Structure 1
Amino acid sequence: MADMQIVLAGKKIEPQYVEMKVPLYSYGCEKKIKKALSRLRGIHSVHVDYHAQKVTVWGICNRDDVLAAIRTKRRDAYFWDQPESKNAPSSMRYDQVEPTRSSRVTAALTIYKFRKSWKKLFPLVLY
């Protein structure tokens, strides 16, 4: 409690609607979106329209934080009023991103572990 600060609001804070276009593939996606948004403070309600691929959030929240929370589950999400542009970095697909050094190291370790598991299964084979 000692590390928290009290910040006075300069103006009246009102709830707002945040509408987003989110690709939903099943009703399980709807549950994932609601669960991801339930962790944010200040959200009063979440409405997911599966057929329109639309998520509407109502509450006292930052719209960028809401979008970031949804993008943890669906990377192709964007604001409803924002047209989808192919040049935006947010629309860049995960497989188009150039791998970083840490991801290459992780991939190398995964391959190494896979090889070691095969050596345990077939110890008589010479490598």
Structure 2
Amino acid sequence: MANMQIVPASKNVEAQYVEMKVPLYSYGCEKKVRKALLQLKGIYSVNVDFEQQKVTVWGICDRNDVLNAIKSKRRGARFWGSEEISEGPRPKPLSSSTRSWSWKAWKMAKILLI
């Protein structure tokens, strides 16, 4: 009985799969993600597919808590199959006439004019 976990009745107590798209750059990233997820309570298994950049978690968990745990390690993580949700309108890029030159560009222009 010491191994049993007490789950509040107000939460969803069914085991579920949570699939996420996570940018993985190396096998070290895969290890960090797996370690971060296995520290959560209620997670039974973590499957990381490096080729598809996909992480599948199975357990009694809240899917938003799982996503937040992965985002602490990989910021670009999102649910599998969900479209990128933008937070408000994106700013329009500046036209070429309103952009200012960088320091290197000014220096190169000065060299070319001399």
Shorter-chain TM-score tier: 0.5 to 0.7
Deviation of 1:14 (Å): 1.3
Question: CA 1:88 to 1:11, structure 2 compared with 1: closer, same or farther past 3 Å?
Answer: closer
Higher RCO structure, 1 or 2 (CA under 8 Å, sep 6+): 2
Query: With structure 2 as the length reference, what TM-score do the two structures score?
Result: 0.66
SS of the residue 2:18 aligns to? strand
State yes or no: 1:63 paired with 2:63: yes
Identity, % of aligned positions: 65
Query: With structure 1 as the length reference, what TM-score do the two structures score?
Result: 0.59
SS of the residue 1:44 aligns to? strand
Deviation of 1:13 (Å): 2.1
**Whose Rg is larger?**
2
Deviation of 1:81 (Å): 2.4
Cross-structure match for 2:100: none
SS of the residue 1:46 aligns to? strand
Aligned residues: 83
Cross-structure match for 1:83: 83
Cross-structure match for 2:97: none
CA RMSD between the two structures: 2.2
Higher helix proportion: 1
Cross-structure match for 1:124: none
**Structure 2 stretches lacking a partner, 5+ long:** 1-5, 89-114
**Structure 1 stretches lacking a partner, 5+ long:** 1-5, 90-127
**Residue range with higher mean Cα deviation, 57-66 or 7-16:** 7-16
1:76 and 1:10 map into 2 onto residues whose CA distance is: 31
Deviation of 1:39 (Å): 1.2
- Residues 15-35 of structure 1 show CA distances to partners (whole Å, capped at 9, x for unaligned) of 000000000000000000011
